[in-house]
Structure 1
Amino acid sequence: MPNRSHARKTIDGAFLHAYIMGQDSYPISYDQHIRATKYRALAIYGSFTCQSLSCASRTWTSGIIATELKFSNVDNSYHTTIHSQRCKDCEQYVEPSVNIDDYTEKILWVLDLWRGHRKAIKQTDNRSSDGPHGDERCHACVVGSCPWKTRRR
Structure 2
Amino acid sequence: MGDVIRFAPKSGLNVSQAAQRQGMDEAIFGKQTESADVPPTKVSFGPFCLLPTRLLLLEGDKVVPLGSRAMEILIALLERSGELVSKQDLMARVWPNLFVDPSNLTINMSALRRALRDGRDGRRFIVNIPGRGYRFVGSVDVSGDDN
**TM bucket normalised to smaller:** under 0.3
Q: Which has the higher strand share?
A: 1
Higher relative contact order (CA 8 A, sep 6+): 2
Q: Which has the higher helix share?
A: 2
